[in-house]
Amino acid sequence: MKDSCVINPQRLSGEPDLPAAGMLAVNPSDSSSFSRLAQRYDLQRSFLFNAQLYTSTRLFIAGPAVGAPMAAICLEKLIALGATRILLYGWCGSLTPALRVGDVFVPSSAFSEEGTSSHYQTQATRLDDSLTEIVLETLIAWDLAPKRGCIWTTDAVYRETHEKIIRYRAEGVVAIDMEYAALQAVARFRGVSLAAVLLVSDELSAAEWKPRYRDKKFRARSHNLLEKLCDFIHTKN
């Protein structure tokens, strides 16, 4: 897609050709699993800004990339290197008692309150949902009972006020993260397929914030889910 942008994502000399499908895991704590996964799938490490990129002919794993701007930059580069079916893995907060820590969440839509999405406006507004449908079927087959709904993506984690939570929840928003809306916008703009699997790490629906992402049990669940999703991608490719 050509336009008047001065800087465009591109594959440079010596950079890898990626397989079509792979994983963008945005949380730094999950990147501790990358070296083990690289050994399992015989992946080779490559440069990806301040993130990591491991790749083979059947799978790539990239990350971390916290926040909409950095995640979008990484996604742009992955697309330039050949990725067309990208699975986002990350964490999200819950705005409703129906969504609890440890639940698996697959966004069905996004409300953007970050600064990246608006730069990717396009007339082609429909995102390819085929990968999401396959991922949902797989999660259901694993008995993980994925929850669905609208997610609020924000850049300002310290400005998640009670007033906003109450207002957005009344409008049907059930979860919050820092990347999904922006990555959805990039994928739509570039014409690639993006699905997201998010693990609920904290709850904001009560009077006080309830974080659980430091718990060993939660971390183990997150690493296990990341590995299962990589197995899924590797098997399908």
For the stretch 148-194, pLDDT in tens is 999 999 999 999 999 999 999 999 999 999 999 999 999 999 999 99
Domain assignment of residue 13, yes or no: no
Render the burial of 30-57: b for 16+ CB within 10 Å, e for the rest: bbebbeebbeebebeebebeebbbbbbe
Report which of 88, 96, 46 is spatially closest to residue 66, judged by C-alpha positions. Answer: 88
Q: In which band, very low, low, confident or very high, does the pLDDT at 123 lie, cut at 50, 70 and 90?
A: low
SS3 8: coil
Using CA atoms, how far apart are residues 75 and 148, in angstroms rounded to an integer? 23
Dihedral angle at the C-alpha atoms of 149, 113, 8, 189, nearest 10 degrees? 40
* Angle made by CA atoms 112, 116, 117, in degrees to the nearest 5: 50
Residue 27 structural domain: 21-236
Domain assignment of residue 149, yes or no: yes
Report which of 210, 191, 193 is spatially closest to residue 201, judged by C-alpha positions. Answer: 210
Q: In which band, very low, low, confident or very high, does the pLDDT at 3 lie, cut at 50, 70 and 90?
A: confident
Using CA atoms, how far apart are residues 237 and 224, in angstroms rounded to an integer? 20
Domain assignment of residue 84, yes or no: yes
The percentage of the chain sitting over the pLDDT mark of 90, rounded to a whole number, equals 91
Domain assignment of residue 132, yes or no: yes
Length of the chain: 237
Average pLDDT, the chain: 94
Domain assignment of residue 146, yes or no: yes
Number of folded domains that form the chain: 1
CB atoms inside a 10 Å sphere around CB 120: 17
For the segment 116-124, the average pLDDT, to the nearest whole number, is: 82
For residue 63, the domain's CATH number is 3.40.50.1580
